Amino acid sequence: MNAELFKHGRFSWNELLTGDPDGAKGFYSRLFGWEYEIFPSEEMTYNVIKSGGEEIGGIMKIPPQAEGQPPIWRIYVTVDNVDETAKLAEKLGGKIHVPPTDIPEVGRFAVLQDPQGAYISVITYAMK
């Protein structure tokens, strides 16, 4: 990733959660020319989206804990400290939808909801 994306407040990652990752991959590769690199894990298969060889996001199956949720693009904003950001969001009237959680070898993230109801994800990367 571009080092600029590790700075606090920067949009840094885009992620599609969908019931049909293969269908989505086909659609977006034809639409935008995206390529994919597959990262299988015990929990899921994660498809990293590449544009011009640069990693820009991912596509994954909607996880079991979110079953019934419609497909959604999730954006991530880099923060210096996920835990502090989540606490501040609550103090400002927001909600924590997914509490601060570690992603091995990637960093720590949380999903927040602003007072108007919009969701946004925050992340602190391990590899700054």
Q: Do 13 and 53 sit in the same domain of this protein?
A: yes
Q: Do 31 and 83 sit in the same domain of this protein?
A: no
What pLDDT score was predicted for residue 1?
A: 75
Residue 35 lies in a domain: yes
**Three-state SS at 44:** coil
Give the domain range for residue 124.
79-128
What pLDDT score was predicted for residue 128?
A: 56
Residue 65 lies in a domain: yes
What pLDDT score was predicted for residue 101?
A: 96
- Nearest to 48, CA basis, from 71, 21, 67: 21
Q: Do 63 and 28 sit in the same domain of this protein?
A: yes
Beta bridge partners of 120: 112
Which helix (H) or strand (E) element contains residue 46? strand 45-51
Express each pLDDT in 58-110 by its tens digit.
Answer: 999 998 888 888 999 999 999 999 999 999 999 999 999 999 999 988 999 99
Tell whether the model's pLDDT for residue 124 goes beyond 70.
yes
Where does a domain end: 40, 69, 98? Answer: 69
Q: Which residue in this structure is represented by tokens 């700075």?
A: 7
Where does a domain end: 69, 87, 106? Answer: 69
What pLDDT score was predicted for residue 115?
A: 93
- Nearest to 60, CA basis, from 36, 80, 78, 82: 36
Cβ distance 111 to 65 under 8 Å? no
Express each pLDDT in 31-71 by its tens digit.
Answer: 999 999 998 888 889 999 999 999 999 999 998 888 888 99
Residue 13 lies in a domain: yes
Q: Do 57 and 89 sit in the same domain of this protein?
A: no
Q: Do 117 and 86 sit in the same domain of this protein?
A: yes
> Residue 58 is part of a domain; what is its CATH number?
3.10.180.10
Where does a domain end: 69, 88, 107? Answer: 69
What pLDDT score was predicted for residue 40?
A: 80
Q: How many domains does the chain have?
A: 2
